Structure formats: C-alpha cells, structure tokens
Amino acid sequence: MAQPVEISITATGRKVTLPTGLFINNEFVPSVDSSDVIQCLNPATEEVICSVVAGSAADIDRAVAAARAAYNTTWGKNVGPVERARLINRLADLMERDRDVLAELESLNNGKPVRVARDFDIGDSIGCLRYYAGWADKITGQTIEVDNKTKLAFTRHDPIGVCGQIIPWNYPINMWAWKVAPALACGCTIVMKPSELTPLTALKLSELIVEAGFPAGVVNTVASLGSVGGAALAAHPDVDKVAFTGSTVTGRKIMEAAAKSNLKKVSLELGGKSPHLVFESADLEQAANWAALGILYNTGQDCTAGSRLFVQDTIYDKFISILVGKAKEMVVGNGFDEKVSGGPVVSKVQYDKVWSYIESGKQEGATLALGGQKRPGKGFFVDPTIFTDVRPDMKIVRDEIFGPVLSVAKFSTEEEAVKLANDTSYGLGAGLHSKDADQCMRVSSALEAGTVWVNQYNLLYNNVPFGGKKQSGIGRELGSYALDEYTSVKAVHWNFGEKLDWPF
C-alpha cells in the first residue's frame, strides 16, 4: 500500500498517476499501524476510482510531529516573508500548469462539471494562493507609545504554529486553497485532513508542494475518516489551532475536543440555511437567475446555498413561474459532459439524505412545484427540486439539506421578510433583490448573516472576508481577516529607563 496508482479517465483518455499514501515530511508513506484504506468513488457512475491509505490516530501523531519539527527549524520564524511569498506563488504557478489534470480529477471524485472545476474552483484557488502570497511580507504589528522616556511597547504578529486543517468534500481544491494559503503566508505549518469522500486532489496537490520547494513537514496531508483523523487533530495536545469547514454537528465536536485538550484556537465554517429575499421592485429576470444559481450551483452542496426563498406577495406568481423555468434549464449530469451545469451529489449517504428531505417535504404538506422524481440508473443524481407553500416549522425549512432543494414562501412587508429570514440558528449568507436603495441598505443591515449579497448571490472574492454569524461559524476566511486566524499577537514591553523601587 501507499504506492501510486494510475487512473484512466475514460471521457478524456487522460491517464493520471495518483499518490495514495499519507503525505508526511514531503514523502508518501504507508500508515504506521493500520491497513485500513478509503475507497474513493465516482459519484456519477458509482464506480470505485481507487483506494488510498486511511490515516490512523498514530499517523496524525507522526504528521503533527513533522509539522512541529518543520515549524521549529525550517518554517515558522526561521523562514523570511519574501521566501514564503515566493514558494506560495510557485505553488500557484504549478496549479496553473496542472489546471486541466486537477479539474478532471476533481470532477471524477466530486462530480462537479470539469469546466466549472477548472474555471471557478481552480481559478479561484490559484487567485487565493497569489492573494495570500502578497500578504506574506505585510503582516505588521504596532509600535505603541506608552512612556517616551523609558519604554518601548510593540506587538508582533507571530505565526500561531502547527495548524490542523479539516476540509469538506463540496469544493475540495478550493477549500484546500482557502486553508493552506493564509496559514503558509503567516508562517504556520499544516496537517491537512481532506474529506474521506474526496481526498484525491489533496493528494495530487501534495506533489506540487514538493515540486514548489516547500521544506519537508511544512504541509502534511493525512486522508482519514473524520471520526479518526479529524478527531485526533481536534484533540491533539501539540496542535496550536484547528480550522474546520463542514457540518455544524461536527463543528461542535471539534470545538469540544479543542476545549477538553489544550484549548487550541478554533475557527469553524459550518452550515447555513441562507435566506434569499426578492422584493417587488427587483429585476425579476435577474433575481430569478441569481436565485437559481443560489440553490443549484454545485448541485446545492454549498454552505451558503440560498435554500429559503422569500418572495414578496405582489410579484410572487410571476416570479415563481420565471424561477421554475430557470431551474428547468439547468442540465444535471456527468461532469465530463460539456453541456452539463451540475453534477451528481457526492455520495450515497448524501443522496439518501437529500431524498429523505424531499420525502419529508411532501409528507409535511409542501407543494412540489418542480422535481421530486428519482432518476433511474447509476449515479447520485438529484434534479432541481422546488417546494412552495412551506411553513417555517417544516423540516425542509429548518434543516440544511445540502442538495438542489429550494423552499419558497411569501411575505408581504419588509419587516416580515427580515423576521422570516433571521428565523434560523444559522447565519452564513443572505441575499436580497430590490431596486430601492434605501431598502437595500436597511435590509442588508438587518440580516443576521456573515455575507449579505445585494442584487446578486454566491459570488465571492479572495480579498473579501467570509464566515458565519450565530451557529454558522467562528472566525473569518478570505481577505485580510484570515490573517487573524493564523497569527498570535505578542505584546513586548521593553523597559530601558524605569527603575523599580522596592519594597513596592
């Protein structure tokens, strides 16, 4: 085990060599004490792609030790900012070079369309790396006046140290970049645990880490079950910080484990049930496009999916008919088909979960305006599904479904819309469509979400922060704000003139 395998991608004829071991200290190695493997499936065909080594708790120990050693010797404060920037930029160059291979691998394992993976997931990831490379030599502290005659006070923004990073399966490469880039720019070392559903691109990217020239141990990749590797990282006494993106349920466990072990710093990017509001003055055609994007992009497998749509009653019928038309235009199929805009959901477990919500929607009395029929044949395909006449207490309205399933309700006043929108324990994203500028300002201020989109949805930029309020998360990614997650502030009080009298 841990030998590379060759994968044949039937649709393009490409052969890809894939490392299958645990990536520790710049080498791919077998598990130290386990023969477990993770089988990686192609969700469009349900076929096995390959198996990779499944890391154990002991392997996590090894990876953390490697990351710590690197932090103390070749990384951390031992490497200058210009060098960190150079390596991160080099990594971006290599991702650019291997863009097509990575896109096909991502599509094979996750199901998303190849062109979306290449242009959006990987394009944004390359931009993210370059963005944080630019920050590496700009992480400044403050000098602070206290007493000019005797004291010098200043802060240093030190790297936090060894970071455990646990990423999800919905945007494997993009989530990898969001975590790796700021951590490296700040001088941290990393033990990365990719999702057990989609570890392949993280392993392929580990080859680029070596090629870019990062010292051994700076980035380590341990594919592992969440309950094994993820839990081990969260509880590890020598990990200084854990960053997790995934479900709120798991996020709680991570935070609990961090509290019980060494009070490591925690940042969490969790679930959402983001509201999407369409007011009567909105450009309905555009709003329908954005609303469709909001629930159907990535087949609804997006933490900020606009999964609760609230439409003002005066335009409700007209808007719904436009929206249903848009949703019908969405082609869901195999990611290697150029015509396709959305792929399957990622796994059988997700497929069953999404369908059980669809069933519950029907049972709780919502009206099915679109979808609701399973496809025959192979592949975890779920077609766009729209429920109308929903009530706030329905499961499909309260719970995060993580599929292309939209719940739609009416509202009459702005106050009612805001109240409905905020009636959730989540607070990740929100969208509103209106041509009334004052209304846009009032409503965007009132919505309890970490990102509010006005007259658009879903689109992010590497230099604008992202994260959740309420139970959607702790901390912010992207923008300059991510730097705060990977630095630790030390204040230095330097006395050069005060003599202390004793006894005090």
In the numeric block, the tokens 């905020």 are attached to 422
State the nearest-atom distance from the C-beta of 440 to another protein, in Å.
Answer: 10
Selected catalytic residue, list 196, 207, 269, 400: 269
Least CB distance to another protein at residue 441 (A): 5
Residues that bind another protein (CB under 8 A): 81-82, 85, 89, 127, 130-131, 133-138, 140, 148, 152, 438, 441-442, 445, 462-463, 480, 494, 496-497
Q: Indicate the residue among 137 and 389 with the shorter CB distance to another protein.
A: 137
Closer of 4 and 134 to another protein (Cβ): 134
Which of 249, 441 has the CB closer to another protein?
441
Q: In the bound complex, what is the minimum distance in angstroms from residue 442's beta carbon to another protein?
A: 7
Pairing verdict, β 241-245 and 162-166:
parallel
Is 269 catalytic? The answer is: yes
Q: How far is the CB of 342 from another protein (least distance, A)?
A: 27
CA atoms of 191 and 233, how far apart (whole Å): 8
Burial class (CB in 10 A: 0-12, 13-18, 19+), 143: exposed
For residue 25, the minimal CB distance to another protein (Å) is 29
DSSP class of 477: B
Q: How many whole angstroms separate alpha carbon 470 and alpha carbon 169?
A: 23
Query: Using an 8 Å Cβ cutoff, are 17 and 8 in contact?
Result: no
Residues 6+ apart with CB under 8 A from 444: 432, 452, 454
**Closest CB to another protein among residues 318, 461:** 461
Query: Considering beta carbons, is residue 93 or 100 the nearer one to another protein?
Result: 93
Strand boundaries in 426-469, DSSP class E: 429-433, 451-454
User: 135 or 171: whose CB is closer to another protein?
Assistant: 135
Long-range contacts of 279-283 (CB under 8 A, 24+ apart): 279/312, 279/414, 279/417, 279/432, 279/433, 279/434, 279/436, 279/439, 279/443, 280/312, 280/314, 280/315, 281/434, 281/435, 281/436, 281/439, 282/315, 282/433, 282/434, 282/435, 282/455, 283/433, 283/435, 283/455
Structure-token match 């944080």, residue found: 132
Smallest gap from residue 94 Cβ to another protein (A): 15
CB atoms within 10 A of CB 125: 29
* Shortest reach from residue 488's CB to another protein, in Å: 20
Query: Which of 170, 169, 214, 163 minimizes the C-alpha distance to 190?
Result: 163
Question: Are 226 and 250 within 8 A, CB to CB?
Answer: yes
CB 182 within 8 A of CB 483: yes
Could you tell me the two tokens for 290? 């954005």
Nearer of residues 10 and 461 to another protein, judged by Cβ: 461
Enzyme catalytic residues: 269
